[in-house]
Structure 1
Amino acid sequence: MPFDNPKVVILLATLNGAEYLAEQLQSFSEQSHSNWELLVSDDGSTDQTAEVVQAFAKQVPQRVTFLEGPRKGFWRNFLSLVRNEDVDGEFFAYSDQDDIWFPAKLKKALAWLAKIPDDVPALYFTRTALVGKNGKLLGFSPLFARTPSFQNALVQNIGGGNTMVFNRAARSILAAAPADIELIAHDWWTYQMVTGVGGVTRYDSWPSVKYRQHEYNLVGSNVGMRQRSLRLRAFAQGRVVIWNDTNIEALNKMRHLLTPSSIATLDQFAQARKTPLPKRLYLLWKAGTYRQSVLDNIGIVVGSLLGRI
């Protein structure tokens, strides 16, 4: 292990999160791994978010920094945290403002990350326990069985940002994104880039956070018939096409960092979206892209046939 007691920098993006924020912060203080530092970027809250953070900072020995965010949306706020040069640590953890971390979250992540050489980008993420507004358990996020890879990341994000912990090498890759880049989500981008540059990933079936479900969630749990109907609606309305356009453009801006095999997959997938049938299906097969369930993979084929990917 390169460090006996490595420091984790928690990257917390906030916006009017006072209602649940205190519980999230309290779960930081209850971590079994206590060597952490908190960096908060607030995107223009008009509630008591700042006061909640300031009160917490007085209660804990760890360093807590509160910054004004870019006020351009959630993924830009997280990207500004990744790029911040005023703090440094051995490892970094994204955090939402309304979840609750289990006490072993950081310890379990570091147990795996510590095995990876310092110069290899590494990303750890987990399943989540779904809870209601009152904290009552509702169930769990999907259990993914197929191996995380760039071929999966290109068409599906299986890593919730609220569970992600990554090393310094991964942070350097993410921070290298150009200023004019456009993303769909910071966590999807993280999964794509770490796998795309040949880094290593670990999906842990152990839930590391209580993921609170409420009407203000920017991204839902992706579980159940309601979420399935929302995905079908997104497909029908052409949002999947827009997401793929955005992801491909962003990845092309970083292709100088991608491995040759990742570039081949990216180019074959991009070409498959524009090529007439039947070559379209051949290129899609050659790209090797896949989602985690049989039904979702059928959806990719149907989407390809209809020109909706």
Structure 2
Amino acid sequence: MACATVAPLPTVCILLSVYNGAAFLEALLASLLEQRGVEWVLYWRDDGSHDGSTAIMHRFQAQAGGAGRCVAVPAPEGGSHLGVMRSYAWLLAHAPQNMPVAFCDQDDVWFPDKLHRALVALACQPEGAPALYCSRQVLTDSALRPLGLSPRLPPSPCFLMALTQNIATGCTVVLSAQAVRLVCQCPPPAAILHDWWAYLVVSGAGGRIVVDNQPTLFYRQHGGNTVGASARLVVRAAGALRRGPRQFMDIFNANISALLLHPALSAQNRAGLHGLRGVLDDAGPARWRRARTLWRLRAMRRSALPDQCVFGLWFLLA
């Protein structure tokens, strides 16, 4: 994060999918208006709310100022409720293709320098290289009382790491314009969210993953979270063990299949995925091949030891 600020900074497009978020929306929207040192436009859609969310968004749209600064994206034919993954994919498909894109959750509160930090970090990357920025968060309860920090991000995440775990929490993710075009090129599998897919695609195509260990927002933890987070590694690992290996390995295999269809996947990563698929398709007693693969691909790891132990066990047994 030591790179000097460049000027002028580009406008960033914020993507917001709303679903029954009336309790928290106004605090989020106020924090967008407080963003410093950057221009933004907001593309949003309601995913079939039955509370006051839509009315709040229309009020904000009328008050945000500037024609086109707050754009309501119409629902596709066939229904308004898409679910989180498809809703953000729909928004991303309608976002401007010539500017960075920031994912936004309806229940968070952004720090005033959130977008500015992200755009400066992205501007420090080689020109033309796709890049994804993500950061830590301050975890809070529903009343914004701090609970702790999200886990520290690893310094140099790579594609093999992205296969095992998503470290790019969606509410912190900002994609460069080149990364936006990459992510839109190929549909994700049904089982993963937009943030993990973006992390997989950008790293798989040889792009840059830029991590910021300074928190940039308050991340509410409450009963309505789609995913949520835990600051305690042992708690996360124990929860993963309870769920068992099959659910994760089904997602792991689906990700491999979807990524192999992406035209921008690097030749090295494509070859690596074909090798992984061959090992995973070899059922029966040949677990030694999986153990050898874990040893050979030591970069295919999770960022914390308890999480890595769980992943290794899953990879061997599922």
- With structure 2 as the length reference, what TM-score do the two structures score? 0.89
Structure 1 Cα separation of the partners of residues 124 and 94 of structure 2: 26
For the 8 Å contact 1:161–1:187, the answer to whether it is kept is yes
Q: Secondary structure at the match of 1:40?
A: strand
SS at match of 2:116: helix
Cα deviation for residue 109 of structure 1 reads: 0.6
**Quick one: distance in 2 between partners of 1:3 and 1:90?**
15
Aligned residue among 98, 110, 114 for 2:119: 110
Mapped contact 1:274–1:280 kept (Cα < 8 A): no
- Work out the CA distance in 1 between the residues paired with 2:153 and 2:168: 10
Please report the RMSD computed on the Cα atoms of aligned residues, expressed in angstroms.
Answer: 1.9
Q: What is the CA deviation profile of residues 142-164 of structure 1, one whole-angstrom value per residue up to 9, with x for unaligned ones?
A: 01335211010011101101000
The one-letter code of the counterpart of 1:304 is F
Q: Distance in 1 between matches of 2:191 and 2:37?
A: 32
CA offsets 1:244-303 (integer angstroms, 9 cap, x no match): 12211211221x311122113322322232332212211233334111012222223222
Distance 1:145 1:157, change over 3 A: same
Q: Is 1:64 the equivalent of 2:51?
A: no
Partner of 2:287, secondary structure, is coil
Tell me, what secondary structure is at the counterpart of 1:98? coil
Gap runs ≥5 in structure 2: none
State the distance in 1 between where 2:38 and 2:62 align. 16
Which of 291, 298, 301 is the aligned partner of 2:309? 298
Number of aligned pairs? 303
Residue of structure 1 equivalent to 2:209: 201
CA distance 1:61–1:154, change in 2 (3 Å) = same
CA distance change for structure 1 residues 170 and 252 in 2, over 3 Å: closer, same or farther?
same
Distance 2:18 2:277 in 1: 35
Q: 1:263 maps to which residue?
A: 270
Q: Could you tell me the TM-score, scaled by structure 1's length? A: 0.92
Q: SS in structure 1 opposite 2:23?
A: helix
For residue 13 of structure 1, give the secondary structure of its aligned residue in structure 2.
Answer: strand
Q: CA deviation at 1:74?
A: 0.4
- Distance in 2, matches of 1:226 and 1:92, equals 32
Alignment-mate amino acid for residue 10 of structure 1: I
Return the offset for 1:231: 1.5
**Contact 1:8/1:35 (CA < 8 Å) preserved in 2?**
yes
Q: Which residue of 1 aligns with 2:180?
A: 171
Q: Which residue of 2 aligns with 1:284?
A: 294
Quote the Cα distance in structure 1 between the aligned partners of 2:138 and 2:125: 27
The 1:251–1:173 alpha-carbon spacing in structure 2 relative to 1, beyond 3 Å, is same
Query: What is the identity, as a one-letter code, of the residue corresponding to 1:296?
Result: D
Q: CA deviation at 1:127?
A: 0.5
Amino acid of the structure 2 residue aligned with 1:139: G
| Contact 2:153 2:212 (C-alpha < 8 Å) held by counterparts | no
| Superposed CA offset, 1:109-131 (max 9, x none) | 11111122442101110001001
2:90 equivalent to 1:80: yes
Secondary structure at the aligned position of 2:51 is classed as coil
**2:238 is matched by which residue type in structure 1?**
S
**2: CA distance, partners of 1:273 / 1:45:** 41
Once residues 9 and 205 of structure 1 are traced to their aligned partners in structure 2, the CA distance between those partners, rounded to angstroms, is 23
Aligned partners of 1:11 and 1:92 also within 8 Å: yes
The match for 1:9 is 13
Q: CA deviation at 1:211?
A: 0.4
Q: CA deviation at 1:83?
A: 0.9
User: Is 1:189–2:193 an aligned residue pair?
Assistant: no
Letter in structure 2 aligned against 1:273: L
Partner residue, 2:52: 48
Q: What is the rounded CA distance, in whole Å, between the counterparts of 2:31 and 2:315 in structure 1? A: 44
Q: Quote the residue 1:144 is aligned against.
A: 153
- SS of the equivalent of 1:23 reads helix
* Partners of 1:271 and 1:283 within 8 A in 2: no
Structure 2 residue corresponding to 1:158, chosen from 167, 174, 199: 167
| Partner AA of 1:211 in structure 2 | Y
For structure 1, which segment, 16-25 or 259-268, has the greater mean C-alpha deviation from structure 2 after superposition? 259-268
| Structure 2 SS opposite 1:57 | helix
| SS in structure 1 of the partner of residue 44 of structure 2 | strand
Per-residue CA deviation, residues 195-235 of structure 1 (Å, 9 max, x unaligned), is 00000111110011110000010101133354333222222
The farther-off stretch of 68-77 and 148-157 is 68-77
1:31 to 25, 30, 35: 35
Q: Deviations over 1:137-190 (max 9, x none)?
A: 111100133521101001110110100011110000011114x85341111111
- Identical aligned pairs, as a percentage? 33
Query: Quick one: distance in 2 between partners of 1:2 and 1:141?
Result: 29
Query: What is the rounded CA distance, in whole Å, between the counterparts of 2:273 and 2:294 in structure 1?
Result: 10
For residue 54 of structure 1, report the CA deviation from its aligned partner.
Answer: 1.3
One-letter code of the match for 2:230?
Answer: N
Residue ranges of structure 1 left out of the alignment (5+ in a row): none
Alignment-derived partner of residue 212 in structure 1: 220
